[in-house]
Every structure is written in C-alpha cells, then in structure tokens.
Amino acid sequence: MRVLVLRALGLGDLLTAVPTLRGLRGAFPGAEITLAAPAWLADAVARIDAVDRLLPTGELEPIAFEEPDLAVNLHGRGPRSTELLEATRPRRMISYAPEEWPADRHEVLRWCDLLERDGIRCDPDDLLLPEAGGRTNRIVIHPGASTGARRWPAERYAAVAEALRRDGGEELDVVVTAGPGELDLARRITPEPVAGSLAELLDLVATARLVICGDTGVAHVATAYGTPSVLLFGPMSPRLWGPRTGPHRVIWHGRTGDTFADEPDIGLLRITVGEVLDAVGGVLCGSVSSARVTSA
C-alpha cells in the first residue's frame, strides 16, 4: 500500500502533525508512507519514525507522485491543496472540504480529528521525538520568526540575555540561535550567534535547559523534546498553536491580529522584559509542571 501525505509547510507545522503521521503508521503498518514537504525538513522528518520517504515539494506546487492508494491532505482547508492531491489520481483521499474546516480548533487536534472521523485512531499527545542527548546548562534564545508580526524586539531579547548572563553566572550558558536570513537580527543580541544546520538546531534545543522564543518552529521543537520553554505569543492565540502539555510557560496578552504583518503585533509588544524574566525564573525553579498561559 502506498500512502501520500501533503504537508508542504514549515518546521512547526511538521511537528504539530506528528500525532497524525504516527496515527497513519499505526493504521497501516505495512504501508509505504511518503510525505510531500520541503526538502530542508529532511533531518526533522527522519526523527519522526512514521515516514518512509520525503518527497521534496514546495508549498502549493505540483506533487511528483502517481496513483497512491491513499492521499491525505494535512496541508490546509483547500481547495488548491486538495486539487494538487487529486491530480495524483489517488484511489482514496482524506481531506477537509472548505466548509468543514474547524477554524477554532488547536492545530494538533484538527488533524487528529480528520483521521479519527475516518476510523484512524490518533493520540494527540504523541508528539515527542527520540532523545538526542542529556540536558545541558544552555538557555537557547531564538529571536527569529517567519513574519515580523511574531518577532519580539531584538533589544528586549538582548536585555533578557544580559540579565540571565549577569544573574546566572557560569551556571547558565546563554546561546542565541539564528535561522536562514536571521544572522543580522541575532547579532543585535550577541556578536556570535549560532547558525548551524537544522540537525544542529534540533540537537541544541533537545538538550537545552530552557528555550525562550516566540510563536515559531523552535517553540514546537521544544515541545517535541520536552524541553522547558518560555514562549512569547502574539498575534496568534496559544489556544490554537501553543503547547497543550509539558513544562512550558506561555506569555500572551489576549490580543489577536494579522500574523502576516511586517511589524511586531501590538499584543506581542505588551510583553515586557520583566514578565519574561519572571517566567524564566518560574520555569528554572521548577514551578511549572504543565503548560500554562499567562495573559493580561
């Protein structure tokens, strides 16, 4: 049996789909599962243990696959993503119709729901990736995000980093990471940011003591490895994209907005350096045992 899954999106999107991909593997243990997704995600895909083959595919681009036994649309509500899968001439397809789209549903749950209604069981808490090493004393700060709306100001991250270095001394190793095109941003926080491969970033977050970042892929990496985190949300609600369980503190001021805007969201800007440092102290002291949202 050949199963084709479309999820040609980013790192966080991939990791929120892990329970669904594992549900497919459980339902069809002998099938060859092919994931149509960007090639740069290969290192992350290899760690999921539910995908046999990565088919490099750009967002909403034709899929180089013919006649799967089952096609699964984990990309979006359609119609374009559905049309691309239909073009592969699947014998059967699982997809939301546009009018069925559960807009007010957590990203993990909406895709589990899709498979569950077709009789495929999914565990929405089956998000963890295999361990990548022991915990270190590193605190990872990742200031980047794919859109300006989700980027907390660099000078505030710099103030957080300086306070942690000053108060933590040699006990804490503050590391600032940068994704593609983010080096200039990261250098506003530290002169020597870390900008390695995706595999190196995954391992760094997997073994960190704490992660501080916005609503971006690195936040989902922290969730996937059970790494404690302080997450700065805005303009998207953490009720839809935040961690549902785990040792995480989410700071959100209750305001939604345009996630594709160029400038930082007003709600995100309401988050202060003091709030972040208080949350960091709570997580490092072990006072957060499960995901918690702080809003004002």
pLDDT tens track for 135-180: 999 999 999 999 999 999 999 999 999 999 998 777 889 999 999 9
pTM equals 0.95
Ramachandran bin of 287, using left for φ above 0, alpha for ψ from -120 to 50, beta for the remaining angles? alpha
What whole-number percentage of the chain has pLDDT above 70? 97
- The answer to whether the CB of 196 falls within 8 A of the CB of 213 is no
Confidence grade of residue 296 (pLDDT, cut at 50, 70, 90)? low
> Alpha carbon of 68 to those of 53, 71, 84, 116, 283: distances in Å?
13, 6, 13, 20, 46
pLDDT tens digits along 110-136? 999 999 999 999 999 999 999 999 999
Task: Find residue 56's DSSP bridge partners.
Answer: 37
* 208-258 pLDDT tens trace: 999 999 999 999 999 999 999 999 999 999 999 999 999 999 999 998 999
Locus of tokens 């839809």: 240
Please give the Cα distance from 75 to 60 (Å, whole number).
Answer: 9
